[in-house]
Amino acid sequence: MAAFHCIQALRFPSRTHVFFPIGDQNRYNIINKKQRGFLVFASADKKSDKELYLKSKVETLLDSVKWDGKGFAVGIAQNIDTGAILMQGFVNRDALATTISSQKATFYSRSRSALWTKGETSKNFINVHDIYLDCDRDSIIYLGKPDGPTCHTGSETCYYTSVPDLLENKQVDGNKLALTTLYSLETIISQRKAELALPQTGKPSWTKRLLLDHDLLCSKIREEADELCRTLEENEDQARTASEMGDVLYHAMVLMAVKGVKIEEVLEVLRKRFFQSGIEEKRSRGQAS
Amino acid sequence: MAAFHCIQALRFPSRTHVFFPIGDQNRYNIINKKQRGFLVFASADKKSDKELYLKSKVETLLDSVKWDGKGFAVGIAQNIDTGAILMQGFVNRDALATTISSQKATFYSRSRSALWTKGETSKNFINVHDIYLDCDRDSIIYLGKPDGPTCHTGSETCYYTSVPDLLENKQVDGNKLALTTLYSLETIISQRKAELALPQTGKPSWTKRLLLDHDLLCSKIREEADELCRTLEENEDQARTASEMGDVLYHAMVLMAVKGVKIEEVLEVLRKRFFQSGIEEKRSRGQAS
């Protein structure tokens, strides 16, 4: 995970913005310090030389993108913590240059024929931590953290229309986001929690029992953690480790649902601990001590 | 998470493929059974009526997509377990219809002017479990499980070129994929494991100590699981729960690295347990008993 957080943006009067990293804790504390190639340059004597060099680097990068006949590439904004695809738009040369310098996901609005920084109206910016090009260099991922819901409808992401649901005439209460496995499971556990407010019939599900009985829940979490450890201690096979880790995750997620904590918050903790706050081990040792 | 797994594809002689769900365990066992609107139709008397109805539903859906002037929408293939964006291509009417019926991610190759099912040459198909349209209906996510590396270069995904690395002239050994937080952490732990084979200098990092000392690692996992439980038992605040869950995840991931198990495998276990194999509670109770 590269990161743009501490990259110092230099805005040039020309249409191209350039930047250089100063005190970039994010990138360098997790990377072999000998690899700080660009920082070497940042210590050059003349600022104007640096600026020229940097401007030329950005221009070379922009030249290397395979813009289509109209000057566009596809831009996809993805949540750096959850992996959720937030939105997709089109990016031109200026939009990419602006995103690099501002670290806010910027697109070109084809309907308004203008640069468009997501959030300029709603204030729900997407704070870009990293940018990736695909193998053909005509598709771009903005890996970032959204300040709030991305979709103009107020939905967390723009992808809430399921094709199978459309084909089955299924009515869905509220938006049903495109969710990957962990977040689908989180949603199901939340639904079970919400259902507890309704009159209960029949035997409660296992998830509901765990949600209601905190002693049971905690004893299961401790038991599953122990079983995960025993797959190592007793040299059990990999499938057993994966299965026990699944149990740990599921039961811990039920506890998080009880506490009202989202997985995204946990991932944010891990990102800040391991990638933004310096040296992973020091932090972790601090936590663990 | 909707799922296409058990949807019975019906291939029509016409260019449009239609399908209907038969015994769709995936969708229905995790959804209120009263919502099985489409299944009601599937019990209609005449097969031809059903086929006509289904064909018309798919045609209506295809009509609802906002195809651009050339008949394309953007298609993004995303790994259903990890959230990794695998590739991006363009989709036309036939490509979407084919994906719906075949459950293999299919695009339109603009360079070859032909339909292109990813994997038709490499056999690394992307098995589509769900399809989402965005709010504008001009962008499509194929949420699926790849059979192998997606990129023609052999890379797991097509996004392995980091813009910051390009701007910093950074040489990266091998591909450096666009990774979200959990997978960045997994990669770092793997790197620490790989570094253990090199001559060690200085005090080993915490991660390396855990990798080397399995008694320490297991005691930490049990301790962190206990601390997570205590955030519930002792009514600690949400931030504490998120932090302790981060500790549980990190230490459990070190154990997984020792065992050579990937997070993706754990998520696959959870997906199969909760979404593909029937009723979540029954399965979970089976595991927990």
The residue with greater pLDDT, A36 or A104, is A104
pLDDT at A174: 64
Would you call A221 and B220 a contact, using CB atoms and an 8 Å cutoff? no
What is the arithmetic mean of pLDDT over A107-112? 95
d(CA A235, CA A120): 55
Q: Is residue B272 over pLDDT 60?
A: yes
What is the arithmetic mean of pLDDT over A22-47? 35
The residue with greater pLDDT, B88 or B14, is B88
**Residues 6 or more apart whose Cβ sits within 8 Å of residue A20:** A7, A8, A10, A38, A41, A42, A50, A54
Query: Cα distance from B243 to chain A (closest Cα, Å)?
Result: 6
pLDDT at B185: 97
What is the arithmetic mean of pLDDT over A265-279? 84
Residue percentage of chain A with pLDDT more than 90: 69
Would you call B274 and A139 a contact, using CB atoms and an 8 Å cutoff? no
Would you call A158 and B135 a contact, using CB atoms and an 8 Å cutoff? yes
Specify the residue for token string 């496995």: A181
What is the arithmetic mean of pLDDT over A223-229? 98
Q: Is residue A133 over pLDDT 60?
A: yes
Question: What pTM was computed for the model?
Answer: 0.83
Would you call B188 and A7 a contact, using CB atoms and an 8 Å cutoff? no
The residue with greater pLDDT, A38 or A119, is A119
d(CA A4, CA A58): 14
pLDDT at B48: 81
**Chain B residue numbers touching A173 (CB-CB < 8 A):** none
Would you call B135 and A152 a contact, using CB atoms and an 8 Å cutoff? yes
Would you call B160 and A135 a contact, using CB atoms and an 8 Å cutoff? yes
Residue of B nearest to A64 (CA): B166
d(CA B47, CA B225): 55
Would you call A269 and B242 a contact, using CB atoms and an 8 Å cutoff? yes
Would you call B130 and A35 a contact, using CB atoms and an 8 Å cutoff? no
Mutate to test the interface with B, among A214, A270, A276, A282 (most CBs of B within 10 A): A270
- Select from B1, B256, B281 the Cβ nearest to the Cβ of A245: B256
Query: Cα distance from B153 to chain A (closest Cα, Å)?
Result: 8
Mutate to test the interface with B, among A245, A253, A258, A264 (most CBs of B within 10 A): A245
Q: Which of A75-79, A99-103, B116-120, B170-174 has the lowest mean pLDDT?
A: B170-174
- Select from B258, B268, B274 the Cβ nearest to the Cβ of A185: B274
Closest CA to B24 of A168, A44, A72, A267: A168
d(CA A40, CA A157): 40
Q: Encode pLDDT of B30-71 as tens digits.
A: 223 323 222 333 444 566 887 888 888 999 999 999 999 999
Mutate to test the interface with A, among B193, B221, B270 (most CBs of A within 10 A): B270
pLDDT at A148: 97
**Chain A residue numbers touching B154 (CB-CB < 8 A):** none
pLDDT at B23: 31
d(CA B252, CA A264): 18
Q: Is residue B155 over pLDDT 50?
A: yes
Confidence of residue A260 (pLDDT cuts 50, 70, 90): very high
Q: B185-214 burial, b for 16+ CB within 10 Å, e for fewer?
A: bbebbeebbeeeeeeeeeebbbbbbbbeee
**Chain A residue numbers touching B143 (CB-CB < 8 A):** 178, 180
Q: Encode pLDDT of B201-255 as tens digits.
A: 888 899 999 999 999 999 999 999 999 999 999 999 999 999 999 999 999 999 9
- Select from B74, B169, B256 the Cβ nearest to the Cβ of A38: B169
**Chain B residue numbers touching A224 (CB-CB < 8 A):** 225, 288
DSSP string, B65-132: S---TTS-EEEEEEETTT--EEEEEEE-HHHHHHHHHH-B-EEEETTTTEEEETTTTT---EEEEEEE
CA B149 → CA A47, A131, B3, B25, B87, distances in Å? 44, 21, 22, 28, 10
pLDDT at A202: 84
Q: A73-84 burial, b for 16+ CB within 10 Å, e for fewer?
A: bbbbbbbbbbbb
Q: Which tokens sit at A91? A: 């990016």
Query: Cα distance from B119 to chain A (closest Cα, Å)?
Result: 17
Would you call B248 and A252 a contact, using CB atoms and an 8 Å cutoff? yes
Provide the mean pLDDT of chain A.
Answer: 83
Would you call A130 and B58 a contact, using CB atoms and an 8 Å cutoff? no
Q: Is residue A250 over pLDDT 90?
A: yes
Residue of A nearest to B270 (CA): A246
- Select from A226, A243, A266 the Cβ nearest to the Cβ of B249: A266
- Select from B141, B217, B246 the Cβ nearest to the Cβ of A266: B246
Residue of B nearest to A53 (CA): B167
CA B13 → CA A25, B17, B145, distances in Å? 60, 8, 28
Residue A17 bridge partners (DSSP): none
Q: Is residue A7 over pLDDT 50?
A: no
pLDDT at B117: 98
Would you call B288 and A247 a contact, using CB atoms and an 8 Å cutoff? yes
- Select from B134, B225, B259 the Cβ nearest to the Cβ of A231: B259
Would you call B205 and A280 a contact, using CB atoms and an 8 Å cutoff? yes
Report the relative pairing of strands B73-79 and B139-146 from DSSP bridges.
parallel
ipTM value, please give it: 0.83
- Select from B165, B228, B232 the Cβ nearest to the Cβ of A214: B232
- Select from A74, A137, A273 the Cβ nearest to the Cβ of B246: A273
The one-letter amino acid at A263: I
What is the arithmetic mean of pLDDT over B189-207? 92
CB A284 within 8 A of CB A241: no
Would you call B270 and A246 a contact, using CB atoms and an 8 Å cutoff? yes
Would you call A250 and B229 a contact, using CB atoms and an 8 Å cutoff? no
Helix (H) or strand (E) holding A246: helix A238-259
CB A232 within 8 A of CB B255: yes
- Select from B166, B231, B260 the Cβ nearest to the Cβ of A61: B166
What is the arithmetic mean of pLDDT over A166-177? 77
Q: Which of A10-24, A117-131, A216-230 has the lowest mean pLDDT?
A: A10-24
DSSP state of B277: S
**Chain B residue numbers touching A109 (CB-CB < 8 A):** none
